[in-house]
Chain A
Amino acid sequence: MPDQLSELKYPVLELRNITKIFPGVVANDKINFDCRSGEVHTLLGENGAGKSTLMNVLSGLYPPDEGEIFLRGKKMHFSNPSHAINNGIGMVHQHFMLIQNHTVAENIILGTPQSFNLKLSEISNRIGELGEKYSLTVDPYKKIQDLTVGEQQRVEILKVLYRGANILILDEPTAVLTPQESEALYKIIRKMIKEKYSIIFISHKMKEVTLLSDRITILSKGKAIATIKRGEASINQLASMMMDEAGREEDKKNIFLESEKQPEKSSEEPVVKIKDICAQDWLGNQVLHNIDMEIYKGEIAGLAGVSGNGQVALAEVLAGMLDFTKGNYEFNGKRIDRADVIKMSKLGVGYIPEDRKKFGIVERMPIAYNFLMRDYTSSDFYNKFGILKTDKIYEYTKSRMKEFDIRAASEKTAVGTLSGGNIQKMILARELSRYLRFLLACQPIRGLDINASGFIHETILKAKQNGLAVLLISEDIDELISLSDRIYVICAGKIVGSLLKKDANIEKIGLMMTGVDISSCKNPD
């Protein structure tokens, strides 16, 4: 097969039989991968499939244990990232590597050889030229901290272009962008392709993958299982190829489960009712502005928005972690006046935090003790002197692990050693196994593979059917549309508007995420 393809175009870059072994895991197993000039070659795979490792090997972060890298037919050994970039391979990281209080130009020239006397105006002119050519417009004199996320990404791309890279690795570039910003990025990519750049594109999002890619290589468990040309496979086919073969059948049909039944909202009082809520972060900046929201029993309310627009603050207010400065918060008809995590938790609030490792677990504690984190008074777990009933705790944990399919050596295993999916299942199990009326699910499937995501969604839907009120906060609009009964959109700490499931689509929500209210049905009641 490679012979046929290379008749068309000569590969600029070729990875042959790359193997990288970390203690205990084969991250890359004899992977072959090539890239031609003027093409987008996508790497698709679940978390832990070995995409990042392969790209880190390519960008010189670590050497492969086996295999060879050929650049324009010449065998190369990249010993560090600057070696790779000097040879034209530039990586745009998912998490930006920029210095916040320096200007765009300063960030771009950082690490490049410069004369003692910086000629910033010359440099800025060159950046301007580059930017104009590829629609990467950004003011070189602005400080990074004053840029939007989309602009910061442009700076990252400019950084590698400025250094003369012609093979760009984009690691999940649209993860932090609004749909409109993503569209702009697609345009930039297409322009670069015309200029004979090569793009290695890493993404989870099936739609953009099928839209952009000339070829797609699917990685699974460290192996490259297939390389597909544009139009050869549908989204669902790609998804099923990506998935673990032991994966369940129903997941292969649909990436996202659909919320089936519309809730009967009748005359019931809402579980969560907030009115005019304002809140500040610890620096005193107002992060929430007059938020109104009602969430009913058996309803999944979605909250769409680009990250950093007040979602975390709203979740923390609802969970009792953050005081609100103004407004009314009623939970089950009960007035809440101040932030009190333990009280809210007892009233029946479950919280899956956005940053699950940072907030949701204590990595070094065993699974069993992590189950205690949201209830310190249960007589099932403590005697009256506060001494642990360890046997009961272990037994309880075992039953939870079985029910929620949490895969670990034992209930005494440190949580930090589990995979992201199992950690999320553990958090979900902990929250759902208590007395619960309301579940706050923040980015519940971010970074998880399709199997774990499916399980999490299924469980949330089941909980909804059992009468739970759910607030689903996500940046993935597809996820929101398929699960939610109603979608609120937040921008700059304000609710822009809300849409019922039947009226929602990506374009509308995407536009609202930038602050434009186009929801004709602003008041669906």
Chain B
Amino acid sequence: MIHISFEKRIYSSGFIRMSITICAIIFALLTGGVFLYAIGVNPFSAYFNVCSQIFGNKWGIEDLLLKMSPLMLTGISVALAAKMRLWNIGADGQIYMGACAATWVALTFGGSNNLTLLPMMFVAGITAGALWIFIPAFLKAHFNVNDIITTLLMNYIAINWVDYLLFGSWRDPNSLNFPITALFAPAATLPMIKNINLHIGFLIGIFIILLIYFLLSKSRFGIYVNIVGNNPNAAEYSGINKKKLIILIMMISGAIAGLAGVIELTGVHHRLQQNISLGYGYTGIIVTWLSRAHPLGVIFNAFFMALVFVGGEIMQMKAGLPVAMIYLFQGIILFSVLGSDVFAEYKLKIKRTA
């Protein structure tokens, strides 16, 4: 008889964890393949086609990096909060509120010169993102109200608020009744990186991640976050003001998501409209899980999730698959990675007994 049992690992190295995550992703792609097969698509040729489409030409890669930019920001936003065992499920709402505040600046000061408009939009967007999460942060810090619920619910308020403006006072009279604002002045456009069709939001994302990584591993701030995140009792013992830190970290997290909103607005859409976030906030959660909240891991996993996005779009166009397929893949990947955690903590032991 074969006897299977789990045995606790004393220590699981970064290598083991990474290999397990990779196995989980492969497992997810295989499982997703079953669904593809079920609707009459050969999964292997589909995966191959998607990869060759994306990596076979410049536009494919540019599109990939373009999608990766907001995911890096929402990923690091969620990951930073996760370092303190806080969950920012509301990055989507902060994206909308950031974009909304930046739009107000663009519409109000549209005539400003090139040098001031864009920075003003950024400041407005970042502030709006930070303020939008302040309510959940305050409730969490002072009354221990569940941050998952509050940040999530704030999303719906933000999305409907933007809808209200788009269907109301901000609607462009020349939009043929579409719920969109007028195009912003050219001064409100994010500069491009030289020689490639990609805005500098990509570089901003990389910079923010490296900055957070540095602060977390090499500063007093990082020590605080590590202590509160890993052992709140020890924080009390060593005199760290937990409440202040919770509010600060959540507001930074919100600010980064708000920044993602401004970048999407000024780099991609150039006007406020519905669906400026394709669920980037939620995908950021998956990115965080895949990278186990390690800042550098966020870069790689934002790349991977962007691949899922772009791949899904290609299949949508080429094979006529529904958009739900993207979310299905995201879901399977998240499930696999969450499930694979068992193997990071425990060793599978197979014994043969007579």
Contact = CB atoms under 8 A, between A and B. Distances in A.
B239 A388 contact: no
Given A359-B236, A386-B219, A23 B230 contact: no
Interface string A89-100: 000000000000
Interface in B192-251: 218-224, 226-227, 230-231, 233-234, 236-240
B15 interface: no
Nearest to A386: B220
A391 B239 CA distance: 25
A39 to B, nearest CB: 35
A422 interface: no
B230 A363 contact: yes
B237 A369 contact: no
A320 B240 CA distance: 12
Given A23-B10, A320-B239, A362-B227, A388 B219 contact: yes
Interface in A331-356: 340-342, 345, 351, 353
A55 interface: no
**Interface residues of B: mostly helix, strand, loop or mixed?**
helix
Contacts of A369: 223, 226
Contacts of B85: none
Interface string A343-384: 001000001010000111111110001001110100000100
A387 interface: yes
B223 A388 contact: yes
Interface in A310-324: 319-321
Contact of B237 (A22, A359, A364, A372): A359
A362 B226 contact: yes
Interface residues of B, number: 23
A49 B11 CA distance: 21
Contacts of A373: 227, 234, 237-238
A524 interface: no
A320 B236 CA distance: 10
A360 B237 contact: yes
Most buried by B among A340, A353, A363, A373: A373
B237 A353 contact: yes
A435 B347 CA distance: 46
Contact of A387 (B219, B230, B239, B240): B219
A382 B237 contact: no
Given A23-B10, A340-B239, A376 B220 contact: yes
B341 interface: no
Nearest to B217: A388
Nearest to B220: A386
B9 interface: yes
A417 interface: yes
Contact of A388 (B218, B233, B234, B238): B218
Nearest to A319: B237
A329 to B, nearest CB: 17
A358 B236 CA distance: 11
Contacts of B9: 23
A24 interface: yes
A123 B254 CA distance: 60
A234 interface: no
B353 to A, nearest CB: 11
Interface in B125-163: none
A363 B237 CA distance: 14
Contacts of B236: 321, 341, 359
Contacts of A363: 230-231
B227 A365 contact: yes
A386 B218 CA distance: 9
A362 B230 contact: yes
Nearest to A342: B239
A15 B45 CA distance: 62
Most buried by B among A340, A364, A372, A386: A386
A361 B237 CA distance: 9
A76 to B, nearest CB: 17
A417 B11 contact: yes
A362 to B, nearest CB: 5
B218 A345 contact: no
A386 B233 CA distance: 23
A68 to B, nearest CB: 16
B239 A364 contact: no
Contact of A359 (B224, B233, B240): B233
Interface in B1-54: 7, 9-11
A382 B223 CA distance: 11
A369 B230 CA distance: 13
Contacts of B237: 319, 321, 341, 351, 353, 359-360, 373
A388 B230 CA distance: 19
A361 B239 contact: no
A390 interface: yes
Given A362-B231, A373-B227, 20 more contacts: A22-B10, A23-B347, A319-B237, A345-B238, A345-B239, A351-B237, A353-B237, A359-B234, A360-B237, A361-B231, A362-B226, A363-B230, A365-B226, A365-B227, A369-B226, A373-B237, A376-B223, A376-B240, A386-B219, A387-B218
Interface of B: 7, 9-11, 218-224, 226-227, 230-231, 233-234, 236-240, 347
8 contacts: A23-B7, A342-B239, A363-B230, A363-B231, A369-B223, A374-B239, A387-B220, A388-B220
